[in-house]
Amino acid sequence: MVSVEDATTARLSRGGMDFEILVDPDLALRMKKGEDVSTDNLLASHDIFSDAKKGERVSGEDLEKVFRTTDVSTITKSIIQHGEIQLTTEQRRKFTEEKKKQISELISKQGVDPKTKNPHPQARILNAMDQAHVNIDPFKPAREQLNDILPKLQEILPISLEKVEIAISVPMAQAGKVSSEARHIAPIKSEEWKSDAWHAVMEIPAGMQSEIYEKLNNITHGNIDVKILKEHKI
C-alpha cells in the first residue's frame, strides 16, 4: 500500500458529483493501461472521497446510486479507467517521455520515406517530434495518437505509414521453424503446405522489412524466396 504522502489523486466526475481516491501514480497508470493491478497495493486509503484534501467521504448511498455498488475495488477501477489521474510535473514528464518513445518506435517500424521506401530511424523521428512541438497524451494509447501527430511530423519529414504484403516460400527442411517465427512477426493471411515447400502470404509493417527479411534469412541460411505482392498505406 502506498503512503498518503507519496500518493496522488485520481478523480471522476459523474452524476453531478466528484469521486476521488488516493493512489500510487505508477500503479494507477498501469491499471489505466489495462494491466491487472491489486487495489490493495494501489490505494493509500480504501475510502472514496468527494474531496480527498478535506477528507470528505462519499456516502454508501451515493456510491450505490452512481456506481450501483459500494465495492471499493470496482469503484476504484471505474475511477481510474474513466477519470483523470493528477500527476506532479515530474511524473507527467516521465510518463510523457515514455509515451513519446512508444509513438516514435511505432512510426519507425510502420513508417517509411514514400520516395525511398526506407524507414526513418527512431532518433530522427524523436527530433522531428520536438521540432513539431507535438502534444503527447501520457495516458492515451500510442496508436490512437498517430492521426493527430503524423500530419505535424509530415511537415518536417516525408513519412507514410505503410504495410507490405509478401509471399514467402521455404523448403520443408526449414518450414517448421520459419512458420513458427513468422506467426510471431505478423498474421499469416494464407498458407499452403506442399511436399517440397511451405508457401505463405503475410502482411508486415513497411518499416520493418529489412529486419524481418534478415531474421527469416538467418533461420533458413538464405534458403528462402520472398516476393512483394503489394504495398498500401495504413
**Element housing 165 (H / E):** strand 160-171
Where in the chain do CATH 3.30.1250.10 domains reside? 8-85
234 has a pLDDT exceeding 80: no
pLDDT bin (cut points 50, 70, 90) of residue 233 is confident
Taking domain 162-233, whether its CATH number is 3.30.70.240 is answered by: yes
Give the position of cell 521540432: 131
**Integer Cα distance of 35 and 200 in angstroms:** 34
pLDDT surpasses 90 at 131: yes
Q: What local confidence, expressed as pLDDT, does residue 4 receive? A: 87
The CATH class for the domain spanning 89-158 reads mainly alpha
- The average pLDDT across 103-111 equals 91
Q: Give me the pLDDT at residue 138, please.
A: 86
Q: What is the mean pLDDT of residues 57-75?
A: 96
Residue 107 predicted with pLDDT over 90: yes
CA distances from 126 to 110, 133, 170 (A): 15, 11, 38
CATH code 3.30.70.240 region(s) in the chain: 162-233
User: Is residue 1 very low, low, confident or very high in pLDDT (cuts 50, 70, 90)?
Assistant: confident
Listed residue (67, 116, 160) closest to 21, CA to CA: 67
The mean pLDDT of 47-55, rounded to a whole number, is: 95
Distance CA 79, CA 40 (A): 15
Identity of the amino acid at 169? S
* Band of residue 11 on the pLDDT scale cut at 50, 70, 90: very high
Is 110 or 130 the better-scoring residue by pLDDT?
A: 130
For 7, which DSSP code?
-
Average pLDDT of the chain, as a whole number: 92
What was the pLDDT predicted at 45? Answer: 93
**Mean pLDDT score, 138-165:** 91
Measured between alpha carbons, how far is residue 107 from residues 128, 178, 204, 228 in Å?
12, 26, 14, 21
Residues 76 and 49 sit within 8 Å (Cβ to Cβ): no
The CATH number of the domain covering residues in 8-85: 3.30.1250.10
Res 34: pLDDT = 85
CB 160 within 8 A of CB 133: no
Please state the rounded mean pLDDT for residues 197-212: 92
For residue 111, which of 120, 102, 103, 123 has the smallest C-alpha distance? Answer: 120
For CATH 1.10.10.900, list the domain ranges present in the chain: 89-158
